Amino acid sequence: MISLSPLEACVLAAVLVGFFGIIQKKNLMMKIISMDVMSTGVVAYYVLVATQPGRFTPILTDPADVNFADPVPQAVILTAIVIGFSIQALMLVGVMKIARDIPTLEVSEIEQTLEHH
């Protein structure tokens, strides 16, 4: 059996809640929020895995025999956060355009309206 720390369990729960929210929710805004929750969980899990005790920031004046942390995961996480924010903004603009044409955010009603056109 796999042993998870309480923090890992919370992060995994956030990812699963976001995933099931995307599948189960019928409102477009709730789907976007669920995707943001899932994205935050994935970033948190990556940070959790990348952290290692006993590592130091590679910004020191005297590098005398010290274990440095790898800065690449930090850059990847910052990039993932920026890309996630951009995707979320793009989805919100798409929802605004849909809401202007069809005065609802329920997926089933939008599909019915588009079928009739």
CATH number for the domain that contains residue 81: 1.10.287.3510
**56 within domain boundaries:** no
pLDDT for 90 equals: 96
Q: Is the pTM of this model over 0.85?
A: no
Domain that holds residue 44: 6-51+70-116
pLDDT for 3 equals: 83
**107 within domain boundaries:** yes
Residue numbers in the chain where pLDDT is lower than 70? 1, 52, 60-64
For 34, counting Cβ atoms within 10 Å of its Cβ (0-12 exposed, 13-18 middle, 19+ buried), the class is buried
**57 within domain boundaries:** no
